[in-house]
Amino acid sequence: MGKNALIDLILDPQSFFAEKMTREESLKVPALILLAMGIVSGIGAAIVSSVTVQMLPPEAASMGGLIAGIGFVAAIISVFILWWAIPSVLFFLLSRVFSGTGSIKRTFEFVAYGMIPQIASGIISTGIFYVYFTSLRLSPITDPMLIAEEMEAIMQSPMLQMATLISLLFILWSASLWIFGMQEAHRLSRRNAAITVGIPVALYIIYTVVTFWGM
Amino acid sequence: MKRIACILLLLCCCAGIAAAQDSAAQVAVTTVVMDPGVLMRGDTATVTVVVTNNGSTAVAISRAVLIDSDLSVLNENSYASVGNLGAGNSMTFTFSIRADVGDGIYYPKFYLDFRNAGSLRYRIPVKVDSTPLQVSVLSRPDSFQQDAKATVTLKVGNPRQNELNGISITPTGTGVTAVQTGYFVGNLAADGSATVSFDVTPTQSTDLVFTVSYRNGLNQHTSEVVVPIELMSGKKQAEPLLNNIEAASEGGYYRVTGDVTNAGLETAYSVVIFADSPAVPVDPFRVYVVGALDPDDFSSFEVTFQADQDSAPIVVQYKDVDGNLFSSTTAVKLGSAGAADASGDELPIGMIALAAVLVLAVGGIIAYTWKKK
């Protein structure tokens, strides 16, 4: 994926996906995109894990490196599952409601291209996590039942709330790309493509807002 | 004949005068009383003079005065006209004098003018001595401690030649209270003394002033003695210290644990530990009671409280053997992100600016791609 292709994806996604339709279906570049996104997310998860592990009892806190590593790997795997497989399957199924004709592989491919803004989002979020969590000092909590409560209190920080809002903004950007992608992949009208993408994305945004701000 | 009559009349007058002078010679000052006996500068005293007619005939007294160039006589003209003093009778004359002079002995003159028979002059010695009542500190503690009761003992002595009356002692001072608001000694004879003790409790370094008021006759006087109070820790006083302190945040409150050690030479009694304002003690350990702590002994403690700040004052309160209450405060750094800490952060300006730029950039790109045909 060249520089011009990236510019096309950002500024003229319809032409980008139309051009991709003329080519063989391939998941090599999409997989690398998801891997890059996974690494960025993994770094962010490792930062959060390495700091929040301070709340654990001293004997558990000594395994801070291992816990950060587990957080890193878990983040990569979750990116592939939550951010690639699930939306691709959902878009594929919903496109079928509107008589979409594209294959599941093409859907995976275009969903991955639509994930490129999430790499930028991940870098920004990781930066915010680093600034916030490295300035945070936590003391061990003797009652493990209270750790979740403490984490919930931490997540109410304005900085972390702002990071969530920024991630939702980039989700909207990805949704915009996915609409163009699904329109081309499944030969849908712009409206049907918007519904295909809009329903899962809207549900995700609603879920995020409700769980994060309790609305 | 006429000449003879004049001579007889003159002889009769001379005989009358000689008889009057004989009678006046029988009048004498029998008693002089001064109150007070010895004056201080500025004092007022009464001088009472008693004269007695020891003769067999009455004596006519024209006036009685007390005269002195140094002392002031306040009722000079009280006896400007007196009258007859019968045979064997006495008459009392009282004068008020004021001693606006330096120390010494003065001799005002008492004049008793007889009608047609000369006068009686009598010098009265008046002593003026300004030596005041002496007050000295008999005993006081080596060091005063804040909020600890201490005893100060005073010795009140009368170095004067006369008795002093109405002696009372009052302690005053900013930041110091006394159990005894005052002490009435009463009178002190010449060279007499009295011992008085006061239990005082200072709250700050100050001057403790003992004001001694007394009367010399009718004249009020005061003396003062100042006892400087410099607060300091007692040499052997108990000294509980906190160490090995650990602070932990536990779901809405903090738990501070540590050791309290008595680094003093006396036992600390009734040692209690708690978090002070602005921290708010909460269950289960609002107050931790350690009890008695011997010198070089230590005990662990645990307190729980809520706090919004990064540190909280932990108070160690204890008593000495006399029940005096002492306390010391140690600021404990909490250093943990409790619920209040995490949600209380303010959003940095740079963060807001970044969000605004991203909204404009991403929004602009999305709008651009959707308008592009």
Q: Is B347–A158 a contact, with Cβ atoms under 8 angstroms apart?
A: yes
pLDDT at B285: 83
Query: Do B249 and B338 belong to one domain?
Result: yes
pLDDT at A72: 85
Q: Where are the alpha helices (DSSP H) in A53-81?
A: 58-61, 64-80
pLDDT category, B232, cuts 50, 70, 90? Answer: confident
- CA–CA gap between residue B265 and residue A142 (Å, rounded): 37
- Chain B positions with Cβ closer than 8 Å to A: 246-252, 255, 334-339, 342-343, 345-348, 351-352, 354-355, 358-359, 362, 365-366, 368-370, 372
Average pLDDT (A185-194) is 92
Which of B285, B304, B358, B372 should we substitute to test contact with A (largest number of A Cβ atoms within 10 Å)?
Answer: B358
* Strand ranges in B263-344 using DSSP code E only, listed in sequence order: 268-275, 280-281, 287-293, 298-306, 311-319, 325-333
pLDDT at B342: 40
Q: What is the pLDDT of residues B77-112, one digit of tens each?
A: 889 888 898 989 999 999 999 999 999 999 999 999
Q: Which domain holds residue B56?
A: 25-128
Encode A118-151: b = buried (16+ Cβ within 10 Å), e = exposed. bbbbbbbbbebbebbbeebebbbbeeeebbeebe
Query: Do B334 and B257 belong to one domain?
Result: yes
Q: How far is B318 from chain A (nearest CA, A)?
A: 30
Which of B346, B354, B358 is the closest to A158 by Cβ? B346
Query: Do B98 and B189 belong to one domain?
Result: no
Cβ atoms of B51 and B85 closer than 8 Å: yes
pLDDT category, B340, cuts 50, 70, 90? Answer: very low
Query: Do B37 and B114 belong to one domain?
Result: yes
Residue B19 CB burial class (10 angstroms; 0-12, 13-18, ≥19)? exposed
Which of A9, A136, A150 should we substitute to test contact with B (largest number of B Cβ atoms within 10 Å)?
Answer: A150
> Can you count the helices (H) and strands (E) in chain B?
3, 27
pLDDT at B343: 42
Alpha-carbon dihedral of residues B119, B83, B125, B213, nearest 10 degrees?
Answer: -160
Selection from B40, B49, B164 nearest residue B103 by Cα:
B40
Q: What is the pLDDT of residues B178-226, one digit of tens each?
A: 888 899 999 999 999 999 999 998 888 889 999 999 999 999 999 888 9
- pLDDT of B347 higher than 80: no
Query: Do B114 and B153 belong to one domain?
Result: no
Q: How far is B292 from chain A (nearest CA, A)?
A: 29
- Interface confidence: ipTM more than 0.90: no
Task: Please state the domain extents for chain A.
Answer: 25-213
Q: Which amino acid is at B32?
A: V
Selection from B327, B318, B321, B324 nearest residue B179 by Cα:
B324
Which of A10, A138, A142 is the closest to B365 by Cβ? A10
pLDDT at B6: 45
Which of B334, B342, B351 is the closest to A162 by Cβ? B351
- pLDDT of B344 higher than 60: no
pLDDT at B37: 92
Query: Do B188 and B124 belong to one domain?
Result: no
Bridge partners (DSSP) of residue B156 are: B135, B194
Q: What is the pLDDT of residues A97-152, one digit of tens each?
A: 998 888 999 999 999 999 999 999 999 988 888 888 776 656 556 566 666 666 77
- Chain A positions with Cβ closer than 8 Å to B: 10-14, 117, 124, 128, 136-143, 146, 149-150, 153-154, 156-159, 162, 165-166, 169-170, 172-173, 176, 180
- CA–CA gap between residue A157 and residue A132 (Å, rounded): 9
Domain annotation covers residue B355: no
Q: What is the pLDDT of residues B277-306, one digit of tens each?
A: 888 888 778 888 888 889 998 888 888 888
- CA–CA gap between residue B28 and residue A115 (Å, rounded): 136
- pLDDT of B251 higher than 80: no
The residues, ordered by sequence, that sit 6+ positions from B301 with a Cβ below 8 Å of its Cβ are: B257, B258, B259, B260, B273, B288, B290
Query: Do B245 and B337 belong to one domain?
Result: yes
Q: Is B335–A162 a contact, with Cβ atoms under 8 angstroms apart?
A: no
Average pLDDT (A20-33) is 90
Cα-only R_g, chain B: 44
The residues, ordered by sequence, that sit 6+ positions from B139 with a Cβ below 8 Å of its Cβ are: B151, B152, B153
Cβ atoms of B309 and B333 closer than 8 Å: no
Chain A residue with Cα closest to B363: A173
Q: What is the pLDDT of residues B351-361, one digit of tens each?
A: 888 889 999 99
Which of B369, B370, B371, B373 should we substitute to test contact with A (largest number of A Cβ atoms within 10 Å)?
Answer: B369
Cβ atoms of B227 and B208 closer than 8 Å: yes
Rounded to the nearest 10 degrees, the angle between the axes of helix A86-97 and helix A104-113 is 120
pLDDT at B290: 87
- pLDDT of B67 higher than 70: yes
- Which residues in chain A are contacts of B354 at CB distance < 8 A? 124, 166
Chain B residue with Cα closest to A137: B336
Query: Do B147 and B119 belong to one domain?
Result: no
Q: Is A150–B249 a contact, with Cβ atoms under 8 angstroms apart?
A: yes
Selection from A25, A35, A26 nearest residue A80 by Cα:
A35
The residues, ordered by sequence, that sit 6+ positions from B156 with a Cβ below 8 Å of its Cβ are: B133, B134, B135, B167, B169, B185, B188, B193, B194, B195, B196, B212
Q: What is the pLDDT of residues A70-100, one digit of tens each?
A: 888 888 899 899 989 999 999 999 999 998 8
Q: Is A137–B359 a contact, with Cβ atoms under 8 angstroms apart?
A: no
pLDDT at A170: 94
Q: How far is B304 from chain A (nearest CA, A)?
A: 13
Domain annotation covers residue B17: no
pLDDT at A135: 67
Domain annotation covers residue B349: no
pLDDT category, B165, cuts 50, 70, 90? Answer: very high
pLDDT at B9: 42
- Which residues in chain B are contacts of A157 at CB distance < 8 A? 342-343, 345
- Whether the CA torsion A106, A107, A108, A114 is positive or negative: it is positive
> What is the total count of domains within chain B?
3
Provide the greatest CA pair distance for chain B.
Answer: 179
**The domain spanning residue B195 has which CATH number?**
2.60.40.10
- CA–CA gap between residue A209 and residue A97 (Å, rounded): 28
* Strand ranges in B124-192 using DSSP code E only, listed in sequence order: 126-128, 134-139, 150-157, 164-172, 176-178, 183-188
Q: Is B359–A13 a contact, with Cβ atoms under 8 angstroms apart?
A: no
Q: How many CB atoms lie within 10 A of CB B25?
A: 15
Q: Is B359–A169 a contact, with Cβ atoms under 8 angstroms apart?
A: yes
- Which residues in chain A are contacts of B359 at CB distance < 8 A? 169
Q: Is B366–A176 a contact, with Cβ atoms under 8 angstroms apart?
A: yes
Q: Is B251–A146 a contact, with Cβ atoms under 8 angstroms apart?
A: yes
- pLDDT of B272 higher than 50: yes
Query: Do B210 and B273 belong to one domain?
Result: no
- Which residues in chain B are contacts of A146 at CB distance < 8 A? 250-251
- pLDDT of B31 higher than 90: yes
pLDDT at B282: 82
Q: Which of B229, B264, B283 is the last residue of a domain?
A: B229
Domain annotation covers residue B199: yes
Which of A141, A142, A154 is the closest to B342 by Cβ? A154
- Which residues in chain B are contacts of A172 at CB distance < 8 A? 362, 366
Q: How far is B333 from chain A (nearest CA, A)?
A: 12
Q: How far is A145 from chain B (nearest CA, A)?
A: 9
User: Starting from the edge strand earliest in sequence, which strands make up the sheet with B104-106, in order?
Assistant: B38-39, B126-128, B104-106
